[in-house]
């Protein structure tokens, strides 16, 4: 994948303003501190620009499509212009179709419902569950985790060479791992897929917030992503790409909006003519605010300039990785090695610590929000840990080796809205916890580690 990983000076730009940047949280040790949101890979904070745009539109909200009133017509124009804006952001082809969904998960389940009969699907075990699990009604081949980008391409080529050459096939691949942050060779995988008569869908949930995504340049057939990872709230997502499979499939949801005409049949039933446009898979009243917020985020990121955003994020990545490298007890998880290009997502384990305990202490004692667990990518994390944990251990059990009887790993993630101070506080907190231990007692409650009262 041709993406810039050049490092610029730390002062290359200020973080983009996001909601929550002034929120303070209490510490169990006393006092308050500004909250360091370092869980962008799960949900990024909304850009202030997005929130302001939505607030300006909110008084004019109306039901989209088919409404005669002024506000309905305004909302319809807003919704359809949002579709055009997002298509431009993704550099879609003229004949591509862009469907607004609820999330990446929803987008890929929609595509799974649209697969032609007897379609073969090829997916690496390294995928997020959103792109690993929707294909179970198809003929699925799960590919083992590669250890280099070149091995990923070779593994896919071998699997495709062995497939039935006459039936339809689909490859599903991530653009950037939600566990390691590593970039995948999407363009090369797309070339391999097309050389063997297969199509490819890109899970860009972790890629689109950090790097430009061009459907044409990467030569993918579809791309899916979520608004809530792209600094846009309100639970909306996107599936964009080839129209033919989508137009041939039964609607993802049956209902108003998806139907062009409904008539009674002589046998007492109803006959339905479905739309062939994106509306075919957007039944019901669409989430116009969600779609508009995604379009607003796309504009904001484009105007900020991805070259600038990538350079600043690379500075933060190097700061975190260098800090963690100074702690011998910390092991960073990686598929492709230290030199692999990556986005601001880093997972690690700490010798002698239960991951839930460590994450709880970061939150309760330092006001830092990270994530712990298997990150909805269970096969990948277990592969990286070299273990197959079946049960979670008690909070803070020092005898539990990483990946065994524990919640497995800790993930820190950041992006365009992250100030330097947050990653600096995180690195210092890791060093203090490993050196001095937690200052507070913790207990297990509903499978999670929480401060003892």
49/354: higher pLDDT? 49
Lowest mean pLDDT among 136-150, 187-201, 223-237, 395-409: 395-409
pLDDT of residue 12: 55
Per-residue pLDDT band for 445 (boundaries 50, 70, 90) equals confident
Residue 236 pLDDT: 97
pLDDT band at 422 (very low <50, low <70, confident <90, very high): very high
What integer pLDDT is reported at residue 398 of this predicted model? 43
Concatenated DSSP letters for 440-452?
S-EEEETTEEEE-
**pLDDT bucket at 395, cuts 50 / 70 / 90:** low
Average the pLDDT over 5-17 and give the result. 60
Residue 22 confidence (pLDDT): 93
- The Cα 448–Cα 450 span in angstroms is 6
Mean pLDDT of 276-298: 92
What pLDDT score does 166 carry?
81
* Residue 68's pLDDT band (cuts 50, 70, 90): confident
Nearest-5° Cα angle at 365, 363 to 371: 20
Assess whether pLDDT exceeds 90 at residue 109.
yes
| pLDDT at res. 407 | 52
Mean pLDDT of 221-234: 97
Whether pLDDT at 99 is above 80: yes
The predicted structure's pLDDT at residue 80:
96
Is the CB of residue 208 less than 8 Å from the CB of residue 232? no
330-332 β-sheet, strand order: 330-332, 345-350, 409-413, 371-373
Name the more confident of 239 and 65.
239
Confidence (pLDDT) at 389 = 46
Is the pLDDT higher at 52 or at 388?
52
119 catalytic residue (yes or no): no
| pLDDT band, very low/low/confident/very high, at 387 (cuts 50, 70, 90) | low
Mean pLDDT over residues 388-392, rounded? 47
Residue-level pLDDT at 14: 84
Q: Average pLDDT for residues 168-178, to the nearest whole number?
A: 98
Asked whether 275 and 255 are in contact (CB, 8 A), the reply is no
Determine what percent of the chain is predicted with pLDDT higher than 90. 80
For the four alpha carbons of 228, 234, 235 and 239, in that order, the dihedral sign comes to negative
Chain-wide mean pLDDT for the chain? 91
Angle at the Cα of 226 from the Cα atoms of 448 and 187, rounded to 5 degrees: 115
Q: Give dist(CA 186, CA 176) in Å, integer.
A: 9
State yes or no: pLDDT of 249 exceeds 90. yes
Q: How far apart are CA 44 and CA 253, in angstroms?
A: 28
Q: Rounded to an integer, what distance in angstroms lies between the CA atom of residue 336 and that of residue 97?
A: 34
Q: What percent of the chain has pLDDT over 70?
A: 93
**Looking at 119, 172, 298, 376, which residue is catalytic?**
376
- The pTM for the full model equals 0.92
Q: Above 60 in pLDDT, residue 69? A: yes
Indicate whether 239 pLDDT > 70: yes
For 295-334, the pLDDT digits (tens) are 999 999 999 999 999 999 999 999 999 999 999 999 999 9
pLDDT for residue 1: 39
Whether pLDDT at 238 is above 90:
yes
Does pLDDT of 3 surpass 70?
A: no
Closest by alpha carbon to 149, among 437, 386, 9, 342?
342
- State mean pLDDT over 123-145: 95
pLDDT for the residue 404: 42
Per the CB < 8 A criterion, the answer to whether 89 and 300 are in contact is no
**Could you give the CA distance from residue 279 to residue 266 in angstroms, rounded to a whole number?**
28
Give the CA angle between residues 169, 172, 173 to the nearest 5°. 145
402 confidence band (pLDDT: 50, 70, 90):
very low
Q: Where are the beta strands (DSSP E) in 35-96?
A: 36-37
């Amino acid at each position: 994948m041709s993406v810039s990983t050049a490092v610029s000076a730390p002062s290359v730009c200020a973080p983009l303003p996001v909601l929550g940047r002034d929120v303070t949280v209490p510490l169990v040790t006393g006092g308050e501190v500004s909250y360091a949101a370092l869980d962008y890979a799960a949900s990024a904070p909304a850009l202030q620009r997005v929130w302001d745009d939505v607030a300006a539109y909110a008084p004019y909200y109306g039901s989209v499509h088919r409404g005669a009133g002024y506000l309905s017509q305004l909302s319809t124009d807003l919704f359809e212009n949002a579709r055009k804006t997002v298509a431009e952001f993704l550099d879609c082809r003229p004949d591509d179709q862009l469907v607004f969904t609820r999330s990446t998960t929803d987008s890929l389940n929609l595509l799974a419902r649209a697969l032609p009969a007897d379609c073969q699907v090829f997916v690496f075990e390294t995928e997020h569950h959103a792109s690993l699990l929707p294909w179970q009604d198809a003929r699925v081949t799960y590919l083992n985790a590669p250890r280099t980008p070149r091995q990923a391409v070779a593994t896919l080529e071998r699997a495709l060479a062995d497939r039935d050459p006459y039936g339809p096939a689909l490859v599903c691949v991530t653009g950037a791992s939600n566990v390691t942050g590593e970039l995948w060779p999407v363009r090369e995988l797309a070339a391999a897929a097309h050389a063997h008569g297969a199509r490819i869908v890109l899970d860009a949930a972790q890629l689109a917030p950090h790097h430009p995504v061009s459907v044409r340049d990467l030569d993918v057939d579809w791309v899916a992503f979520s608004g809530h990872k792209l600094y846009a709230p309100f639970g909306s997502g996107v599936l964009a790409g080839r129209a033919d499979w989508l137009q041939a499939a039964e609607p993802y949801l049956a209902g108003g909006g998806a139907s062009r005409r409904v008539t009674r049949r002589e046998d007492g039933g109803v006959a339905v003519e479905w739309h062939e446009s994106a509306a075919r898979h957007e039944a019901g009243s669409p989430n116009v605010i969600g779609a508009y917020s995604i379009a607003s985020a796309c504009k904001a990121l484009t105007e900020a300039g991805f070259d600038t955003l990538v350079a600043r994020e690379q500075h933060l990545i190097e700061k975190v990785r260098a800090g963690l490298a100074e702690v011998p007890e910390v092991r960073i998880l990686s598929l492709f090695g230290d030199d692999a290009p990556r986005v601001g997502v880093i997972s690690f384990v700490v010798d002698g610590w239960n991951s839930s305990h460590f994450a709880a202490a970061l939150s309760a004692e330092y006001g830092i929000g990270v994530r712990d667990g298997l990150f909805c990518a269970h096969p990948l994390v277990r592969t990286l840990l070299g273990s197959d944990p079946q049960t979670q251990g008690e909070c803070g059990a020092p005898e539990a080796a990483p990946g065994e009887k524990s919640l497995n790993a800790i993930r820190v993630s950041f992006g365009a809205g992250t100030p330097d101070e947050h990653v600096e506080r995180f690195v210092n907190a890791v060093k203090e916890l490993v050196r001095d231990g937690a200052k507070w007692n913790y207990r297990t409650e509903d499978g999670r580690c929480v401060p003892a009262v």
